[in-house]
Structure 1
Amino acid sequence: MTGALALLLGVAVLTGHALVNAGRWLRRPADRPAEVTETVAVLLPLRDEADRVTPCLRALLAQRGVPGLRIVVLDDGSTDGTAEVVRAVAGDDPRVTLLTGVAPPPGWLGKPHACWQLATRADPAATALVFVDADVVLRPHAVAAAVGELRAARVTLLSPYPRILVATAADRLVQPLLQWLWLTFLPLRAMERSPRPSLAAAGGQFLVLDRAGYVATGGHAAVSDKVLEDVELARAVKRAGGRVALADGSRLAACRMYDTWPQLRDGYSKSLWASFGHPGAAAAVVALLLTLYTAPPLVAVGAALAGAPAVAGLASAAYAAGVAGRVVAARATGGRWWPDALAHPVSVVVLGWLTARSYHLRKRRRLSWRGRPVT
């Protein structure tokens, strides 16, 4: 009885925290932003993205409210004709510059090196840098709204999380956990105000930075060997005295991160170990998540079969509170909640398995991404 009550209280507090974050502290860029008068460089790193760069690039070319828009694309050693697709889509648009990347030197991972090449070769007049991944499709006002929010918030780095598109059962189980985790566990207001690098989060799919602040941090050179270069860049910003903010970017951008289960599995496996650091910390966090979100429905069923209705009721309420937390996160970030939130206990189990797989593969030095080792 006492254990079931503790579960209910713990989950209810976390769901309440997510509700406060979503309702009070989560930034939401303007739907109809003012025109941006500064020069903005949108930076697009590509490696074997011929099959999906077209919607992304067309959306960049269709941006409104940014007269000083510059688009810099880096072909990072693609072997599938990505550069040819870029040339075909961009045509002779003077706003677009296509660069040919060089292989990362020792001590660099591929993504940070690609971003660094883009940032250092962007138009010197650009005072804001916008990093976008090839799987992101922006709305026509997205860049203007994101840069406007960067300036309004007076931060160095703004991370507007795109709406994550889901299609398969695996997508629906795993992908919504991204927004749910930071809305549930990260105090957004404290993150903006605190100088502590440990209180930082960011998503590299769509990232907006003040250029002077980016240079002051050392840019991607400061995170050259980091798998989670987006989060580490946010931490570097704080170490340099800058500020970081998260925003709901679901009305600005949409992103389909992975097309298949193997891509999703390997994508999370390559980076989850870096999210937690020490394996002991990962084990503790996963154990806590399983206790809070997977145990309640099991306890409820077991208690009902054992003739303990009070315990079954408390455990069922804890399960419902966990589902409510997923609903809060989905509604706050443009995600799908029905009926996916009902499977939240299963989502947490899958996350635990992916975390264990990540550490297992890292220990055996078998982690790679897009043909490059990541450890």
Structure 2
Amino acid sequence: MSPVASAVAAGVLTVHTAVNARLLRVPPSAEPVAELVSVLLPVRDEVERVVPCLSAVLASVALPHLEVIVYDDASTDGTAELAGGMADRDGRVRVVHGSTVPVGWLGKPHACARLADAARGNVLVFIDADVTVAPDGIARTVGLLRATGLDLVSPYPRQDAHTLAERLVQPLLQWSWLALLPLRLAERSPRPSLSAANGQLLCVDTAAYHRAGGHTRVRDHVLEDIALLRAVKAAGGHGVVADGTDIAYTRMYNGWPALRDGYAKSLWAAGGNIGASAGQVGVLAWLFVLPAIAMMRGSRAGLAGYVAAVASRVIAARRTGGRAWPDALAHPLSICVYGYLTALSWIRRLHGTATWKGRRV
């Protein structure tokens, strides 16, 4: 496997990253939203996050018609009581209580389906408890949905990363679709493979949601956000990931154990089967690890490939509010950690030991 070919391919992806960085849709300035907007929050044992998340949503501007529905998924840590207290103080908030997840469903799709059933708005905005939105964030998200004529938009929140493990892995989230997904083609193409979304902040037209079958259609999907976008596309709709850097932020995982377990529960689903996952990791290693190894052996082609990889990461970081330096220099190591997490995810999947929030997935 020639480092020259790897370097050329990495260079092409760097150019593609730069093009996508310019094409990435940005939510417009906030304007008053005339229609009813339903903000839907599924929670399970989020006692430290539910109040900050809800407080930020309730501080939203330009949303004269807003309902906020919380689905408490059998929390045991006081989450339900905190959410209920906020509902008592603000009439825009309702709490729906859940218990058993039906056979054939995973927990989050079931929670989201229950939320959608309870919603009355023309627009559904799903948000995770670890996300904090800016005061104009939801209005701008709805504005993007309507201005583009799309059926689903997913503004990607800024991903805060603090520990070494987080800084190695989390930047790969935005980098992956900026580098690898042709954004303008993706938003209009019905191809399932050209789909990227993030359930941390996802806005969908209510009618389009129901035409697609909603979360009932994706009831057993670990990556229910991407699956929902694919269902919308299959029903004739369109959608795409967008820039959420200025409208929301999140810290998904706090340290290595949480990060490891979070990715181990879901990365197997990104490939769909072991062969596809191995192929994905293999291509990434060929593109970004092989040049670095060749560089250390004195190869100029390897150096060029490594520089291209770092440049791609820098472009993605600067476009999405991430840390460019020195983190981008460790891109080959990031790919290696991603490969390890993918392998671990499949091991746990095959042994039936993959869990999340106390449930098997």
Q: Identity percentage over the alignment?
A: 53
1:287 maps to 282
1:50 maps to 47
2:154 maps to 159
What letter matches 1:226 in structure 2? H
Alignment of 1:1-375 (within 5 A): 3-23=2-22, 25-30=23-28, 32-123=29-120, 126-302=121-297, 304=298, 312-374=299-361
Output the CA distance in 2 between the equivalents of 1:8 and 1:258: 33
Cα shift at 1:90: 4.4
Output the CA distance in 1 between the equivalents of 2:108 and 2:246: 26
Cα shift at 1:201: 1.3
Output the CA distance in 2 between the equivalents of 1:117 and 1:10: 45
Cα shift at 1:104: 1.2
What letter matches 1:359 in structure 2? W
Output the CA distance in 1 between the equivalents of 2:107 and 2:84: 23
1:307 maps to none
Q: Give CA-to-partner distance per residue, 1:74-123, whole Å, 9 cap, x none.
A: 11100000011123344421100011113211100000000000000112
**Contact residue 87 and residue 94 of structure 2 kept, 8 A:** no
> Secondary structure in 1 aligned to 2:168?
helix
Cα shift at 1:298: 1.5
> Secondary structure in 2 aligned to 1:223?
coil
What letter matches 2:306 in structure 1? Y
Cα shift at 1:329: 0.9
Cα shift at 1:51: 1.3
State which drifts further: 142-151 or 332-341.
Answer: 332-341
Q: Give CA-to-partner distance per residue, 1:280-312, whole Å, 9 cap, x none.
A: 11111111111211121211121x3xxxxxxx2
What letter matches 1:242 in structure 2? G
Flag structure 2 segments of 5+ consecutive residues without an equivalent: none
Output the CA distance in 2 between the equivalents of 1:114 and 1:4: 47
Normalising by structure 2, we get a TM-score of: 0.98
**Contact residue 195 and residue 229 of structure 2 kept, 8 A:** yes
What letter matches 2:338 in structure 1? L
Output the CA distance in 2 between the equivalents of 1:57 and 1:285: 38
> Secondary structure in 2 aligned to 1:171?
helix
Output the CA distance in 2 between the equivalents of 1:161 and 1:21: 14
What letter matches 2:257 in structure 1? P
What letter matches 2:248 in structure 1? A
Normalising by structure 1, we get a TM-score of: 0.94
State which drifts further: 342-351 or 325-334.
Answer: 325-334
> Secondary structure in 1 aligned to 2:89?
coil
What letter matches 1:64 in structure 2? V
Flag structure 1 segments of 5+ consecutive residues without an equivalent: 305-311
Q: Give CA-to-partner distance per residue, 1:193-213, whole Å, 9 cap, x none.
A: 212222211100000000000
Q: Give CA-to-partner distance per residue, 1:333-368, whole Å, 9 cap, x none.
A: 111111100000100000000000011111111111
Cα shift at 1:327: 0.7
Aligned-residue CA RMSD in angstroms? Answer: 1.1
Output the CA distance in 1 between the equivalents of 2:32 and 2:137: 11
Output the CA distance in 2 between the equivalents of 1:196 and 1:3: 32
